[in-house]
Chains A and B, each alone.
Chain A
Amino acid sequence: QSALTQPASVSGSPGQSITISCTRINTDVGDYTSVSWYQQHPGKAPKLILYDVTNRPSGVSDRFSGSKSDNTASLTISGLQAEDEADYFCGSYSINRDLRFFGGGTKLTVL
């Protein structure tokens, strides 16, 4: 069982907003202050879209935003577009900073 849990799938229509959660479910995960999110299209490498909960790398659309409350981090995608259809993974680290964890991934379907 992953230390971070995500819903297996979410869906939304073009123009809508969706939110994907990432919950820390065991104490192997550290203080959870640095949570990252990755987008992966089929057959492609993952791409960083958010880091440190809310920060977007250069070039990432501002339609992607992040937040965190207690043990749950969230990724919100607003103004859904067909190109957003992909798998999304959250990531974090262990208490001693040596280990890294990924959530199980969420498949986003744009209807």
Chain B
Amino acid sequence: QVQLVQSGAEVKKPGASVKVSCKASGYTFTGYYIHWVRQAPGQGLEWMGWINLNSGRTSYAQKFQGRVTMTRDVSATTVYMDLTSLKSDDTAVFYCAREKIGVTSYYFDHWGQGTPVTVSS
């Protein structure tokens, strides 16, 4: 079955970076995008960007451009999201989510369990 398993909770100081991983299994890895979504405490879902797992091409929300980098390791079927220059309002749960490549439908059919990141001095 399809699984997206994320790395564990992180605690970081302001100005530091965090790297969250998302291990995919149960499907053809390169047939999909992986998107990253942020959810601050008590808030809604905020789309951060995607990586095409076939080509490695990325697209980021303007809000995160310059601070976020998404990469993938095809042999390990793992995707990484690196967020730099952390601020206290980056405290959130980060989710990875899958979307199929090459179709005209846009939706996230499987999600990771979420990785809480706390930014505090």
In the complex, which of the residues A45, A57, A92, A99 has the most CB atoms of chain B within 10 Å of its own CB atom? A45
Q: Given A36-B108, A48-B107, A51-B109, is A99 in contact with B47 using a C-beta cutoff of 8 Å?
A: yes
Binds B, one of A67-75, A78-86, A100-108: A100-108
Residues of A contacting B113 in the complex (Cβ-Cβ under 8 angstroms): 45
The one of B44, B106, B109, B111 in contact with A104, judged by C-beta atoms closer than 8 angstroms, is B44
Q: Given A46-B95, A100-B47, is A34 in contact with B105 using a C-beta cutoff of 8 Å?
A: yes
CB within 8 Å of B: which of A29-51? 33-34, 36, 38, 40, 45-48, 51
CB within 8 Å of A: which of B76-121? 95, 97, 104-114
Number of interface residues of B (CB under 8 A): 22
Q: Given A92-B106, A99-B61, A100-B106, is A46 in contact with B35 using a C-beta cutoff of 8 Å?
A: no
Query: CA separation between A99 and B61, bound complex, in Å?
Result: 7
Query: CA separation between A52 and B110, bound complex, in Å?
Result: 16
Residues of B contacting A40 in the complex (Cβ-Cβ under 8 angstroms): 45
Q: Given A45-B112, A46-B111, A47-B111, is A36 in contact with B47 using a C-beta cutoff of 8 Å?
A: no
Given contacts A91-B108, A99-B47, 4 further A-B contacts (CB under 8 A): A40-B45, A52-B105, A52-B107, A99-B59
